[in-house]
Chains A and B, each alone.
Chain A
């Protein structure tokens, strides 16, 4: 437990203002319940998600650099991004601005033309919501605050692609004991276990949900999601815990689509890990936005004495 991330700059990103609203709400509620402080970045812009890099990767770097420079101007050295896509892009920008002179050049040039301060590499570090809670409260701190244990809830922890890949943009990972791992991430497992959940051994933690082609190649995405859902069920999970609005929405959308189009029904529920943590901290299901999820988990939560 440390004070390092007690107050951080918060970058919600576009998805958390739209389909990922429940993630935004539950992240803020969990922060409040844990005595952590989130200060939203003023006037932030979209990180470019998975799309802008396909127009030009350096443009993506610029978009993220603009956000990092806002954090810096606001006096923060840490930005917390709960969305895997935002987190990935900000980390990628940190890396490229320090190591790739052409990216640096384009960012400087665009910043100058746009009329705002350019971002100096190394001044701000991006962390994910998982690091934020893990490092500021820790498992022991969390355990001490649990009011409504997740006991009896079987959870498959799903981290998705962008939280771990490619590994070179996450210099703090793969540092051995205590650090996060890119091949077998465990921060979400650790936190939910501290909240009392029973984590199942889920082999697809970092498999892809096909989020990049959710709409442009729906059949492939449905196939990939169906694999995630049926494997979670085979592992005995009641719930898949997510940490990314794209993964979360993809799992929910394609669960419905798999049933409608392929006739494959699955009943595993999908919840943001912050929603689960929030309920463990004694917040109501409504407070953490469970009613905003597509996947209706009220029955399951009630049966487990949660919500």
Chain B
């Protein structure tokens, strides 16, 4: 049975005896703490395959657990529970219940690609983090995270017009995630800028947020992209056997 590192030494898996004698020798104190023995039976054997089927997850099988990704990771430095190497390990083992304990932080990868730079095996851990975050959402283990909402708002605009307008992205993102636009720091920021910007530029930016900037002749691209996106979604659902479950 493989050793599941962190999970073995969690407080709930440790037993400490007040007094303990083994073969007539008193081993109380440090020597009286033990890891409970257990058998793991809930492996999800499909997990690696499913995550590998999502964009970014393709190369997860190459990982040899050197830990360079976690060592380099930006988010690990501010939150030690954010651990790409460990999650890749759990996924490859199929240890789903352990992975689900961290389901609400995996999406926080900032795509800085320090892991990808450091990885000696071209796993693209950044891609695996994105694929895993999507897998969690698609499987219904987590609600749609704000970063996914942002990706969608942004991409929908690109697909529709070929360009984005940042003010519109901001407004739609706040609306979709149910946040107020009048957050103190944002108001302060806009007020301080508006007081210094030349009027001409203010008008230009204002107009861009009303009249959507667009790429001329984009309609053909827009249709082609929409069709492709639908195909990708269907392929992901199929790889995760979601339609089968839905039909049951």
Partner of A55, one of B116, B201, B229: B229
Partner of B166, one of A19, A54, A207: A19
Whether the pair A253, B189 counts as a contact (CB closer than 8 A) is yes
CB of A48 closer than 8 Å to a CB of B? yes
The complex places the Cα of A48 from the Cα of B164 at a distance, in Å, of 9
Q: Mark A17-33, 1 if CB is under 8 A from B, else 0.
A: 11101000000000000
Whether the pair B74, A224 counts as a contact (CB closer than 8 A) is yes
Chain B residues lying within 8 Å of A45, measured Cβ to Cβ, are: 158, 162-163, 215, 218, 221
Q: Using CB atoms, name the residue of chain A closest to B224.
A: A113
Could you tell me the distance in whole angstroms from the C-beta of B76 to the nearest C-beta in chain A? 12
List which A254-307 residues lie within 8 A (CB) of chain B: 256-257, 260-261, 291-292, 294, 296
CB of A146 closer than 8 Å to a CB of B? no
Q: Mark B78-118, 1 if CB is under 8 A from A, else 0.
A: 10000000000000000000000000000010111110110
Q: What is the size, in residues, of chain B's interface with A at 8 Å between Cβ atoms?
A: 64
Chain B residues lying within 8 Å of A256, measured Cβ to Cβ, are: 185, 188-189, 192
Whether the pair B224, A212 counts as a contact (CB closer than 8 A) is no
Whether the pair A54, B151 counts as a contact (CB closer than 8 A) is yes
The complex places the Cα of A93 from the Cα of B152 at a distance, in Å, of 21
CB of B56 closer than 8 Å to a CB of A? yes
Could you tell me the distance in whole angstroms from the C-beta of A129 to the nearest C-beta in chain B? 20
Whether the pair B114, A161 counts as a contact (CB closer than 8 A) is yes
The complex places the Cα of A252 from the Cα of B198 at a distance, in Å, of 19
- Indicate whether A59 sits within 8 Å of B228 (C-beta atoms), given known contacts A45-B162, A256-B189: yes
CB of B242 closer than 8 Å to a CB of A? no
Q: Using CB atoms, name the residue of chain B closest to A261.
A: B185
CB of B217 closer than 8 Å to a CB of A? yes
Q: What residues make up the interface of B, taking CB atoms closer than 8 Å to A?
A: 55-56, 74-75, 78, 108, 110-114, 116-117, 124, 127, 130, 134, 145-152, 154-155, 158, 162-167, 170, 173-174, 177, 184-185, 188-189, 192-193, 196-198, 201, 205, 208, 213, 215-218, 220-221, 223-225, 227-229, 232
Q: What residues make up the interface of A, taking CB atoms closer than 8 Å to B?
A: 14-15, 17-19, 21, 43-46, 48-59, 62-63, 66, 106, 109-110, 113-116, 161-162, 164-167, 182, 207-208, 210-213, 215-217, 220-221, 223-224, 252-253, 256-257, 260-261, 291-292, 294, 296
Given A220-B78, A253-B189, A260-B184, 18 more contacts at CB 8 Å?
A: A14-B163, A17-B208, A21-B205, A49-B154, A52-B155, A54-B147, A54-B148, A55-B152, A106-B228, A110-B221, A161-B111, A161-B114, A212-B111, A217-B146, A224-B74, A256-B189, A292-B201, A294-B193
